Structure 1
Amino acid sequence: MNWVEVINNKDIEEVLDKFGYFHDSCLKELYMWTDSYVGENLSMGMSPELDTNVRILFQRQYNDPSAIELLFEGVTQFHIVPSPINYDSIIYDAKLILHKGLFYWANDLDWEPEDNNNGTISWIAAKSLKWRDASSWMGKQNRYGVINEN
């Protein structure tokens, strides 16, 4: 699975078209990490750069591809809202845009970056974006890690 870098609006349209504008999809998994760490000697390691990165796995009810993974690097803002009890988690359409030098993804086509205080919509903003076909990652199985049930 090779990553495809998204650079401009043409690339964004390609992703949206390829994945059916996220229609009838769901956010299956999400993995976030930074370059910050505590070493074995308990010293703190920090990056002066935007070091937050997020990988998101989406699955959908269509083929070619049936799943994609988005990689957001240099995340500047991140807002995830879980579905309430007795509501489904189906994404009917999503927005993916390049706005003022940042890539934005939101699970609502009508969302705008200026609406970032809206507490009902999941969205993310980052300096760079890549994607790849993850159709081999269908089903319930977790791909970003296994929860130890002990």
Structure 2
Amino acid sequence: MDEQLAMHFDNKTSVKMLFQSQFREASVIEVEFQDVVQFNWCQSQSADSGMTVLMQAVCFWKDNTLYWAEDIDWSLEGLDRNDYRWIAAKNVRWRIIEAALGPDPRLLKPVN
């Protein structure tokens, strides 16, 4: 919003994800995918709708786009690629936020 109270939209999409681990160092990492090109989110029938346990994920750059998927065997060319959760974005940034450890939603509040 500017000084004249006009609102502007930059037409860019971002996705924030919070990863928690049982490691003592860097136990919580927030990842923000910026300028999202594609976003595929599917929910397993047997999984808790708010949580997913990731054992191994894949992340790679191709044609100036970063791809992240929840399974190390995921492939952009795979016929089953949409059976997995994956994101394609032009930029990504991340930060360690130890104060976000726990079950409460933490992405809505900025952490300094």
TM-score past 0.5 threshold: yes
Answer 1 or 2: which has greater helix percent: 1
Q: For the structure 1 residues 65 and 118, does the alpha-carbon distance in structure 2 shift closer, same or farther, using more than 3 Å as the test? A: same
Instruction: Give TM-score scaled by structure 2 length.
Output: 0.77
Could you list the runs of 5+ residues in structure 2 that have no partner in the other structure? none
Count residues with an aligned counterpart.
Answer: 103
Give runs of aligned pairs for residues 33-48 of structure 1, distance below 5 A: 46-47=9-10
Q: For the structure 1 residues 116 and 141, does the alpha-carbon distance in structure 2 shift closer, same or farther, using more than 3 Å as the test? A: farther
Pair 1:144 & 2:81 matched: no
Counterpart code for 1:108: D
**Which residue is 2:16 aligned to?**
55
C-alpha distance in 2, partners of 1:83/1:130? Answer: 27
Moved more, 74-83 or 114-123: 114-123
After the TM superposition, list the runs of 4 or more consecutive aligned residues in structure 1 that deviate by more than 6 angstroms.
none
In the TM superposition, residue 103 of structure 1 has moved relative to its aligned partner by 0.7
Pair 1:82 & 2:68 matched: no
In the TM superposition, residue 46 of structure 1 has moved relative to its aligned partner by 4.9
1:69 paired residue among 19, 24, 30: 30
Q: Percent identity?
A: 31
Instruction: Give TM-score scaled by structure 1 length.
Output: 0.59
